[in-house]
């Protein structure tokens, strides 16, 4: 769950709505990189929006759980989705391309960031992308692709495979 940053004094600070759009904001990644982003784009993240509203950061928002590379990707996504002229179709196309080039590790990092920053659309798309990669695949294929290490003993593995024996037909061959 995304942490809801509270004003230390527990006060509700009213956001300056009129200036929000043009104003820039600095996001600081875990490894110290700083990124500038418009408030309108940053506001697509519910977590950042809450932080802005609480105004706890004074213009620089530290994101200790997101590294620079991942943050750069997330910001690319947010900028596209905040673009004035972009149609839904444009965004959909962008999302597809945006995710299609990503390695599994990157996808996982983006999923984590999407969840942490509470960007529902991004989080959903990434999860769906991961899920699509698992469909109709064998256990070994899923392990290899998603770099999951089996922590079963041989007996446990045999036991669990027996439990799900009904599912083993119709999976794609590992070759593709």
Partner 1 sequence: MASLSSDLCYDILKRLDGATLASAACTCAAFCSISREERLWENVCCSMWPSTNRDDVKNLISSLGGFKKFYADCFPLIVNKEVPEFHWKDYYEYPQEWTEAEYYGDEDEAESISPSDFVSIVDIRYKDKTICSRVLWGIPNANGFNGWFYNCPFRVDLLAYSAINDDQADEVTVSLSDGLPPIWSMERRGKMERSGKSCAMASGLAGFLLTKKQRKLLIFPVGALLEDKDIGPENDFLLRFGSVLPAKDILPCQVVECILIMKFRVARIEDEDTHTTLKLTELSMQLGDMEGSHVNGRNSLLVLREALSCPRSKNYSEASSRANCTQKFRASSRRRR
Nearer to partner 1 among residue 154 and residue 166 (C-beta): 166
Give the residue with the Cβ less far from partner 1, 90 or 140: 140
Compute the least distance from the CB of residue 173 to partner 1, in Å.
Answer: 12
Distance in Å, CB of 74 to partner 1, minimum: 16
Q: Minimum CB separation from partner 1 for residue 151, in Å?
A: 5
Min separation Cβ 66 and partner 1, Å: 12
Q: Quick one: residue 38, left, alpha or beta (phi over 0 = left, psi -120 to 50 = alpha)?
A: beta
Q: Which is nearer to partner 1, 60 or 134 (CB)?
A: 134
**Is the Cβ–Cβ distance between 63 and 30 less than 8 Å?**
yes
Which residues contact partner 1 (rule: CB under 8 A)?
A: 1, 104, 108-109, 111-112, 115, 123, 127-128, 130-131, 134-139, 142-143, 146-152, 156-157, 160-161, 163-164, 166-171
Question: Between residues 94 and 146, which has the closer beta carbon with respect to partner 1?
Answer: 146
User: Minimum distance between the CB of residue 140 and partner 1, rounded to whole angstroms?
Assistant: 9
Q: In terms of CB distance, is 58 or 170 closer to partner 1?
A: 170
């Amino acid at each position: 769950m995304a942490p809801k940053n509270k004003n230390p004094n527990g006060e509700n600070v009213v956001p300056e709505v009129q200036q929000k759009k043009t104003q820039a904001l600095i996001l600081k990644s875990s490894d110290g990189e700083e990124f500038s982003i418009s408030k309108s784009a940053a506001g697509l993240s519910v977590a950042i929006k809450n932080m802005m509203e609480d105004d706890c950061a004074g213009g620089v928002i530290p994101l200790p759980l997101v590294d620079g590379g991942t943050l750069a990707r997330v910001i690319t996504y947010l900028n596209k989705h905040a673009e004035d002229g972009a149609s839904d179709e444009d965004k959909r196309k962008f999302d597809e391309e945006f995710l299609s080039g990503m390695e599994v590790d990157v996808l996982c990092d983006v999923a984590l960031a999407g969840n942490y920053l509470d960007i529902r659309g991004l989080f959903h798309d990434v999860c769906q992308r991961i899920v699509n990669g698992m469909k109709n695949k064998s256990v070994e294929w899923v392990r290899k692709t998603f770099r999951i290490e089996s922590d079963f003993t041989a007996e446990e593995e045999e036991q669990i495979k027996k439990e799900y024996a009904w599912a083993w037909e119709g999976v794609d061959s590992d070759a593709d």
